[in-house]
Structure 1
Amino acid sequence: MRTDLPSGVGRFRRPLASLAALVLPAPVVLAHPGERGAALLVAAVAALVAVVALLPWPVGRVALAAGAGAAGVVSLLLDVCYSGPYRLPAFWLPFEWLALLGVLFRVVRRVPGRWVGPVGAVVGLASLAVPLRFTLRMPHGGWAGSLIAAVLSLLPTLGVAGAALYLRVLDARRERAVARARREQRLEVARGLHDFVAHEITGIVLEAQAGQLGPQDREESAALLRRLEEAGLRALDSMDEMVGALREPQSDEGADGPTRRLGLTDLPDLVARFGTTGGLHATVDLIPDVTGLLSAEAQATAYAVVLEALTNIRRHAPDATEVTVRVAPGPHDRVQVSVTNNGGPTRLCRPLRRRPGSGGTGLAGLTARTTTHGGTLTAGPHTPSGWRVTCTLPPGR
Structure 2
Amino acid sequence: MTGLLRSAWNAPGAVLPPPRRVWRDWVLVSLVVLIALLEAILRTDLSQPLLAAVIVIASAPTLLWRRTRPLLMLAIAYSAMAVAALLMDNSILYTSVYVILLAYALFRWGKGRDLLLGSGILLANLVVYGLGGALFVDIVGEAGLTVIMVTLGVALRYRARARVREIDRAKLLEREMLARDLHDTVAHHVSAIAIRAQAGLATAALKPEAATDALRVIEAEASKTLAEMRSMVRVLRQGDAPELAPGRTLADIEQLASTALLAGTEAAGPRVDVRITGDTESIPPIVAAALFRLAQESVTNARRHARGASIIDVVLEIDESGVRLTVTNDGEAVPAATPGYGITGMMERTSLLGGTCQSGRAPGGGWVVTIVLPRVGWTT
**Same fold by TM-score greater than 0.5:** yes
- CA distance change for structure 1 residues 128 and 84 in 2, over 3 Å: closer, same or farther? closer
Once the two structures are overlaid, the 10-residue window that deviates more, 20-29 or 262-271, is 20-29
TM-score, structure 2 normalization? 0.75
In the alignment, the residues of structure 2 paired with residue 165 and residue 297 of structure 1 have an alpha-carbon distance, to the nearest angstrom, of 43
Q: Amino acid of the residue matched to residue 79 of structure 2?
A: V
Deviations 1:158-178 (A, max 9, x none): 332333333233322211110
Deviations 1:170-222 (A, max 9, x none): 3222111100011111212222232221111111111222222215566x655
CA contact (8 A) 2:186 2:229 kept: yes
In the alignment, the residues of structure 1 paired with residue 91 and residue 249 of structure 2 have an alpha-carbon distance, to the nearest angstrom, of 75
CA contact (8 A) 1:265 1:291 kept: no
- CA distance change for structure 1 residues 66 and 109 in 2, over 3 Å: closer, same or farther? closer
In the alignment, the residues of structure 2 paired with residue 120 and residue 155 of structure 1 have an alpha-carbon distance, to the nearest angstrom, of 16
How many angstroms does 1:12 deviate by? Answer: 0.9
1:226 to 208, 213, 216: 216
- The 5 Å alignment of 1:178-257 reads 178-213=167-202, 214-215=204-205, 221-247=211-237, 250=239, 254-255=241-242
CA contact (8 A) 1:13 1:55 kept: no
2:325 to 307, 332, 337: 337
How many angstroms does 1:284 deviate by? Answer: 1.4
In the alignment, the residues of structure 1 paired with residue 63 and residue 164 of structure 2 have an alpha-carbon distance, to the nearest angstrom, of 25
Aligned to 2:104: 105
- The 5 Å alignment of 1:19-58 reads 19=30, 40=51, 42-43=52-53, 45-47=55-57, 49-55=59-65, 57-58=67-68
- CA distance change for structure 1 residues 228 and 256 in 2, over 3 Å: closer, same or farther? same
In the alignment, the residues of structure 1 paired with residue 125 and residue 258 of structure 2 have an alpha-carbon distance, to the nearest angstrom, of 76
How many angstroms does 1:290 deviate by? Answer: 4.7
Aligned to 1:327: 316
CA contact (8 A) 2:36 2:95 kept: no
Q: Amino acid of the residue matched to residue 18 of structure 2?
A: R
2:259 to 255, 273, 276: 273
- CA distance change for structure 1 residues 224 and 194 in 2, over 3 Å: closer, same or farther? same
Deviations 1:294-342 (A, max 9, x none): x555444433322221121221125222222111147x92311011222
Q: Amino acid of the residue matched to residue 173 of structure 2?
A: E
In the alignment, structure 2 segments of 5+ residues that lack a partner are 1-16
- CA distance change for structure 1 residues 65 and 324 in 2, over 3 Å: closer, same or farther? same
- The 5 Å alignment of 1:1-397 reads 1-3=17-19, 11-16=22-27, 19=30, 40=51, 42-43=52-53, 45-47=55-57, 49-55=59-65, 57-58=67-68, 64-71=69-76, 74-75=79-80, 78=83, 83-86=86-89, 90-92=91-93, 94-97=94-97, 99-112=98-111, 114-115=112-113, 117-118=115-116, 121-122=119-120, 124-125=122-123, 128=126, 132=130, 136-137=132-133, 146-213=135-202, 214-215=204-205, 221-247=211-237, 250=239, 254-255=241-242, 262-277=248-263, 278-290=268-280, 292-293=282-283, 298-329=287-318, 333-344=321-332, 346-347=333-334, 350=335, 355=339, 361-382=341-362, 384-395=364-375, 396-397=378-379
- CA distance change for structure 1 residues 196 and 156 in 2, over 3 Å: closer, same or farther? same
In the alignment, the residues of structure 2 paired with residue 39 and residue 11 of structure 1 have an alpha-carbon distance, to the nearest angstrom, of 30
In the alignment, the residues of structure 1 paired with residue 60 and residue 120 of structure 2 have an alpha-carbon distance, to the nearest angstrom, of 16
1:282 match: secondary structure: strand
CA contact (8 A) 1:274 1:310 kept: no
Q: Amino acid of the residue matched to residue 390 of structure 1?
A: T
In the alignment, the residues of structure 1 paired with residue 354 and residue 61 of structure 2 have an alpha-carbon distance, to the nearest angstrom, of 57
Aligned residues: 351
RMSD of the TM alignment (CA)?
3.9
Q: Amino acid of the residue matched to residue 255 of structure 2?
A: D
